[in-house]
Every structure is written in structure tokens, then in C-alpha cells.
């Protein structure tokens, strides 16, 4: 999933900022540390998903865990090799959306975009849910409050990402290294022990609800595929590597594949040997940890490390989805506001959108990892398939030397991930995958509809054509609404006069005496500008001005309304000022075509 570190690459023309030279780029090992957390943290929920799938056929069926894991590892190997070729062909990175737009056309890229959005949202949800599971394994008292913990974690990630996080990949190195060491330790120590250090598995035997048929195996396989999510991260981030980029990135990809494969097989072997079965509120990984390290401090430390790794994996989506949404906005496929960065270099609307979607999803499934897994891998595997298909198309079009074996590798990868996607969809459809099946086309429709709207606007504004020369118009009439003769009035009239057109002041009064007093005060002041006083028997102050302005603009003359605004020095006084001006501005803007100008006047109180 990780576009997290690929921000810069997704917009490759952005020049590096000061201090962003080659020295800041990653070696292979650094790249591994920085970019693999998303994929590696999948070991926290992937093996567990297999076990949970198989146990429906009773505890005996758990023997199928190891062979299924081996099949998944084979798929991993094909994917990794296929992705080394993606790295070579797309050294600018760019991810499934950019690549499929280039190689497979605009329509297909909509599918890529929609599945990526699903993928990012699910990465956040699954990682937070699995992280909470790990935390609750160490501290059982938390088990009853998983949703709340997830939402707190999500709120923290959102707040951090709204403030803007450092792009530095190096922050992730230590957690990654510790995570690999911890899980590797669980496996190595487990293999060395004759018997688990703590009770593993459960006293209760799981009765068989169904026979261990091919369907059940396929279900367990498709659940286990969630362990493969994240292996595309390195291919998306090639430009963050030090020269020679492609070689370093490929080496990193292979290392990631090897480590992930070892962890998956090692964990599956321990599950197989120790007959680990699902147990209440303790995850399979936590059971294995207890089996290797006992339930002392090392157990707590490992669970906390797993939680941290999953939290950081969730964070990669916050680096990725907002950037993807900004790209979609630039392609007119999402509202332009997702491309907006104001004071901080943060796509805040994308961050908020991701947070809301993830919160919705977590709440809908009550923070259950188990219920999220069926939705999870589909989006990722659609991305896998599209990336590899794009490469096949690339080889077939470009036909460089040795293109055929290369196309074969990517073709095999595409075929396998297609098969996996079909298995995922068919076996998990009723378990939640239908949500994704409904959501992806709806999103594609939305993107297309937005694109059509912007195209229509573009035609209407004649974008790309040279417009006629500026219209020669009569001087503007500047209307200044005023309440009384004061320094504010002086400021407003002076400003209006400096525009150079005609100026007229206008006031509304429901009380003839006050109207007369105002007119007299105006004549005493004598600013050289006419004051029109409108009588408003209904005491409405805004409506009469709107009508006055409409009359003035009625003969086709360009009208600007200059609304003076008193700005208090302290924010808490804002409620005391300007409401009338803001209301007038709002109504003028929604009902008329006049220019509405706000003139600030700063107070010292």
C-alpha cells in the first residue's frame, strides 16, 4: 500500500528542496527498513486469518496451514520477481494509478484509482484493528474497548498528519528493525525449544462445522493473501533510492520478499507443530510469542512492537491516499479541493476524508480484524493485476530485447493475481467482499461524473482557447452601505473613491427621525459623495440594500458593493461585529452578479 514515502515521486517534477540531495536518498538496507513495514506487519494478521478460516473444519484442519502458506509464499515469489521488472520499467515510481493511466488507458486507471482508495482505507482500518488485537493480547483488560482504542489511534494519526509529518524515511528504520528482530526471534527461539514455554492453543477443542473441502481451503487461502499486501510499496518509491536507483530498489524488493517469506513460513511451521488454534482474545502471533518467550517482559515488549509496527503501517495510508486524491483532483476526477494545500504542505481534505472513511469502516465492523480481512485483499490484488498487466502491454508494445521471457514473468504474475482476485471475490463475497464490489464501481462512476462536469465547465470557460479582448465597460459604480457617519464611513468612502469610478453611499433606516439626523450629519461632513437613505418600514436592513443594488445593476452597469468590516483585535469579540455585513455579502453573492468587496477596518479593542 505504501505510497507513504512516494509523495515526491508521484509528482516527479517537483524539484528537491534544499538539503534533499543524493545524501538523503536511501541505500538498499535503509530502503528495506523504511519501506517494508507495511508489508511485514501483515504477518500479524495474515497467518491468523488462515487459521481462523481453517478452524471451521475443526482443530484437525489446521494442518492445512503450512501447505496454504507455501502456496501464498509461491505467489509472493512470483509477485516479487514481477515487481523487480516494474521497478526497471517505471523508475519514476508512480503506483498502480499512474502506471495504469500510462499503459492501460484512462478507463482502466479509474479502476486502479478506486481499488487504491479502497486499499488505503482498509490498510488503515485493518492495521489499527490488528494493532488493537496485539495490544489486547498483552493487556486483556482492553479487549472490551477495541473500537474506542482504534478510534483513538485513528484520531492521533489524523492529528499528526494534519499538522504535517516529516517525510523522512529514517524515522521508520528502528521500529522496522526491532519488529523483524522480534518476529524472527519468536521463530528462531520457537524452533529451538522442544516444548512451548507457555500454554499455546486452547483447552477447548474446536468442533468441525464443515468438512475440510476445497472451498474451505480456498477461503483460507484468500484470507491469507492479506499477508501479501504492501509488497508494491518499494516499486512506488524508486526515486527515493540512491543511485543506481533501479538496482538498489530491486535488491530491496528481493530482500523484502525473502524476509516476508521466511517469516510467513516460520510462523506457519510453529502453528503447525504446536497445534496453535484461535483462542479468545489472544492473537495467534501472541500465542506463538508466549510459546517462545514465555509470558514475561519479552512477551509484552513483542506485543507492543507489533502494535507500533501496525500503527506505523496505518500511517503509510495517510502519506498515500491524500496524495492519490490530489492526483485525482489534478486529473479532474475528484473535487479540486483535494488538491488544495494552504498554510501547511498537507492535503488536509484528503487526510480528513481518509480518517472519516476509516472511522466509518471500523465502527461498522466494531473494530473486528476478522470481519475486515474479507474486504481487504481485493483492492490490493486488483492493483497487483493492473500493474503487471500494464507491464505486459508495455513489453508487447515496446518489444525490447528479451521481451518475451519478461512478458511471461509479468503475465504469470498477472494471471496468478487474477486467479487470486477471483478466488477472493467468490469465496468472500457474502462475508463482506460485496461491499468492495459495490464500492469500486460507484467510485469509478463518481470519478467519471466529476470529470465530465469539469470538462463541461472547461468548455463553457473556453479553456485552452484565446478569449476575445477585455470588454470595454463604463466605469464601475461603487456602492458603499453605511450605518452612520464615522471614521469607518470615512475609510470606506476614501477607499471607494480611490477605485476611480462613481461612488454612492447607501443607508437603511426604519425611523424617519434617525434618517433625518443621518442625512444632516452627512451634509455636515460633505464628503463629495451622495448618500441615499432607503426607508424600510419592515425593519429589514439587508433586503432593501439588495434591492437597491439590483436596481443599480439593472441597466447593465458594472456595480461593486464595498462592505466595510470592523475587525476587532480579539477573536472573542468577533461575534459582536460585522454579522450584518457578512449577511449582506452572502445574500448579494448568492442572488446578484455584482462584485462584492470586503474592506477591513482594524480596531484596537
Nearer of residues 242 and 491 to a second copy, judged by Cβ? 491
The distance of closest approach from Cβ of residue 239 to a second copy in the complex, given in angstroms and rounded to an integer, is 16
Task: Between 333 and 394, name the residue whose CB sits nearer to a second copy.
Answer: 333
Grid cell for residue 353? 476524508
Q: CB 8 → a second copy: shortest distance, Å?
A: 11
Nearer to a second copy, 295 or 543 (CB): 543
Q: What nine digits make up the cell of 308?
A: 507500533
Give, as one character, the DSSP assignment of residue 485: S
Contacts of residue 240, Cβ cutoff 8 Å, sequence gap at least 6? 5, 6, 8, 9, 25, 26, 31, 34, 35, 169
Q: Decide whether 215 or 582 has the Cβ nearer to a second copy.
A: 582
- Rank residues 402 and 571 by Cβ distance to a second copy and give the closer one: 571
In what helix (H) or strand (E) does residue 8 lie, and over which residues does it extend?
A: helix 7-10
Tell me the closest approach of the beta carbon of residue 125 to a second copy, in angstroms: 25
Please, what is the minimum distance in Å from the beta carbon of residue 242 to a second copy?
Answer: 22
Phi (first) and psi of residue 507, to 5 degrees: -135, 155
CA gap 447, 328 in Å, rounded: 8
Alpha helices in 526-578 (DSSP H): 542-554
Quick one: DSSP state of residue 212?
A: -
Q: Are 510 and 535 in contact (CB under 8 A)?
A: yes
Q: Which of 118, 56, 52, 1 is nearest to 368 (CA)?
A: 52
CB of 337 to a second copy, least distance (A): 4
Q: Is the peptide bond before 244 cis (omega within 30 degrees of 0)?
A: yes
CB of 68 to a second copy, least distance (A): 46
Q: How far is the CB of 171 from a second copy (least distance, A)?
A: 21
The residue among 495 and 519 lying less far from a second copy, judged by its C-beta, is 495
Report the residue number, 55 or 507, with the smaller CB distance to a second copy: 507
Phi, psi of 565 (to 5 degrees): -125, 125
Least separation in angstroms between CB 313 and a second copy? 26
The answer, yes or no, to whether the previous bond of 50 is cis (omega within 30 of 0) is: no
- Cβ nearer to a second copy, comparing 139 with 453: 453
Quote the radius of gyration of the chain (alpha carbons, Å).
Answer: 32
Q: Which is nearer to a second copy, 377 or 450 (CB)?
A: 450
| Cβ atoms 77, 340 nearer than 8 A | no
139, 283 contact by CB (below 8 A): no
Handedness of CA 222, 225, 227, 229 (dihedral sign): negative
Please report how close the Cβ of residue 142 comes to a second copy at its closest, in angstroms.
32
Amino acid at each position: 500500500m505504501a505510497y507513504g514515502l512516494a509523495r515526491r515521486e508521484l509528482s516527479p517534477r517537483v524539484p528537491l528542496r534544499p538539503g534533499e540531495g543524493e545524501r538523503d536518498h536511501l541505500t538498499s538496507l535503509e530502503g528495506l527498513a523504511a519501506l517494508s513495514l507495511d508489508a511485514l506487519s501483515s504477518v500479524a494478521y495474515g497467518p491468523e486469518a488462515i487459521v481462523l478460516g481453517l478452524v471451521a473444519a475443526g482443530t484437525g484442519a489446521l494442518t492445512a496451514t503450512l501447505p496454504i502458506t507455501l502456496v501464498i509464499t509461491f505467489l509472493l515469489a512470483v509477485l516479487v520477481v514481477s515487481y523487480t521488472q516494474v521497478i526497471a520499467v517505471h523508475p519514476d515510481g508512480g503506483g498502480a494509478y499512474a502506471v495504469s493511466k500510462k499503459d492501460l488507458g484512462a478507463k482502466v486507471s479509474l479502476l486502479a484509482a478506486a481499488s487504491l482508495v479502497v486499499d488505503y482505507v482498509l490498510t488503515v482500518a485493518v492495521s489499527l484493528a490488528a494493532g488493537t488485537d496485539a495490544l489486547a493480547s498483552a493487556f486483556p483488560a482492553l479487549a472490551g474497548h477495541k473500537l474506542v482504542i482504534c478510534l483513538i489511534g485513528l484520531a492521533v494519526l489524523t492529528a499528526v498528519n494534519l499538522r504535517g509529518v516529516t517525510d523522512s524515511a529514517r524515522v521508520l528504520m528502528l521500529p522496522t528493525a526491532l519488529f523483524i528482530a522480534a518476529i524472527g526471534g519468536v521463530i528462531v527461539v520457537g524452533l529451538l525449544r522442544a516444548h512451548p514455554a507457555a500454554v499455546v492453543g486452547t483447552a477447548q477443542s474446536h468442533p468441525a462445522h464443515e468438512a475440510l473441502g476445497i472451498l474451505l481451503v480456498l477461503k483460507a487461502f484468500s484470507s491469507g493473501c492479506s499477508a501479501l499486501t504492501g509488497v508494491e510499496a518499494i516499486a512506488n518509491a524508486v526515486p527515493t533510492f540512491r543511485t543506481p536507483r533501479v538496482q538498489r530498489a530491486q535488491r530491496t524488493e528481493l530482500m523484502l520478499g525473502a524476509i516476508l517469506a521466511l517469516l510467513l513460513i516460520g510462523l506457519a511451521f510453529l502453528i503447525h507443530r504446536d497445534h496453535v488454534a484461535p483462542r479468545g482474545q489472544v492473537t495467534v502471533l501472541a500465542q506463538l510469542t508466549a510459546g517462545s518467550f514465555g509470558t514475561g517482559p519479552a512477551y509484552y515488549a513483542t506485543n507492543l512492537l507489533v502494535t507500533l509496527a501496525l500503527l506505523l503501517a496505518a500511517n503509510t495510508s495517510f502519506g498515500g491516499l491524500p496524495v492519490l486524491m490530489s492526483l485525482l483532483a489534478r486529473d479532474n476526477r475528484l473535487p479540486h479541493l483535494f488538491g488544495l494545500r494552504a498554510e501547511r504542505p498537507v492535503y488536509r481534505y484528503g487526510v480528513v476524508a481518509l480518517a472519516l472513511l476509516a472511522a466509518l469502516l471500523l465502527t461498522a465492523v466494531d473494530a473486528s480484524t476478522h470481519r475486515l480481512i474479507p474486504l481487504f485483499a481485493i483492492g490490493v490484488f486488483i492493483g497487483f493485476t493492473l500493474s503487471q498487466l500494464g507491464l505486459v502491454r508495455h513489453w508487447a508494445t515496446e518489444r525490447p530485447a528479451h521481451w518475451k521471457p519478461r512478458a511471461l514473468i509479468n503475465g504469470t504474475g498477472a494471471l496468478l493475481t487474477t486467479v487470486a482476485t477471483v478466488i477472493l471475490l467468490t469465496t468472500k463475497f457474502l462475508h463482506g467482499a460485496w461491499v468492495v464490489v459495490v464500492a469500486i464501481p460507484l467510485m469509478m462512476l463518481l470519478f467519471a461524473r466529476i470529470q465530465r462536469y469539469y470538462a463541461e465547465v472547461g468548455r463553457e470557460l473556453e479553456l485552452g482557447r484565446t478569449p476575445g479582448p477585455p470588454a470595454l465597460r463604463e466605469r464601475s459604480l461603487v456602492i458603499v452601505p453605511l450605518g452612520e457617519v464615522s471614521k469607518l464611513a470615512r475609510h470606506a468612502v476614501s477607499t471607494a473613491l480611490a477605485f476611480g469610478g462613481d461612488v454612492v453611499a447607501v443607508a437603511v433606516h426604519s425611523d424617519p427621525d434617525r434618517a433625518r439626523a443621518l442625512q444632516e450629519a452627512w451634509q455636515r461632513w460633505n464628503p463629495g459623495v451622495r448618500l441615499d437613505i432607503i426607508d424600510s418600514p419592515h425593519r429589514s436592513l439587508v433586503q432593501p440594500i439588495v434591492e437597491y443594488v439590483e436596481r443599480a445593476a439593472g441597466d447593465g452597469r458594472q456595480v461593486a458593493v464595498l462592505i466595510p468590516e470592523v475587525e476587532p483585535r480579539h477573536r472573542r469579540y468577533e461575534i459582536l461585529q460585522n454579522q450584518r455585513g457578512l449577511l449582506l455579502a452572502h445574500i448579494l453573492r448568492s442572488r446578484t452578479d455584482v462584485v462584492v468587496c470586503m474592506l477591513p477596518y482594524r480596531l484596537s479593542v
